[in-house]
Amino acid sequence: MTSEHSRSPAFTYSPVGQTAHRVTPPGFNGLRVCTELGSGPGVFAAASRALLEWRMHRAMGVRMTSDAARAAPGVRVTVGLGVGRLRVEGPCRVVWTVEEERRAGWAYGTLAGHPEHGEEAFLVEHAHDGRVRLTVWAYSRPAAWWARAAGPLVPVFQRLYAHRCGQVLRRLARG
What pLDDT is attached to residue 50? 97
Burial of 93 (0-12, 13-18, 19+ CB in 10 A): buried
Euclidean distance between CA atoms 98 and 112, whole angstroms: 25
Residues 138, 163 contacting (CB under 8 angstroms): no
3-state secondary structure of 78: strand
CA nearest to 98, candidates 124, 129, 132: 124
- Count the alpha carbons within 13 Å of 92 in the hemisphere toward its beta carbon: 31
What are the structural domain ranges in the chain? 2-174
Tally of CB atoms within 10 A around 58: 13
**38, β-bridge pairs:** 132
* Segment among 8-17, 56-65, 112-121, 145-154 with least mean pLDDT: 145-154
What pLDDT is attached to residue 83? 67
Report which listed range, 1-15, 86-100, 128-142, 154-168, is most confident: 128-142
What pLDDT is attached to residue 122? 98
Q: Is the pLDDT of residue 118 over 70?
A: yes
Euclidean distance between CA atoms 150 and 136, whole angstroms: 22
Instruction: Report the CATH fold assignment for 2-174.
Output: Alpha-D-Glucose-1,6-Bisphosphate; Chain A, domain 4 (3.30.530)
Average pLDDT over residues 27-42: 96
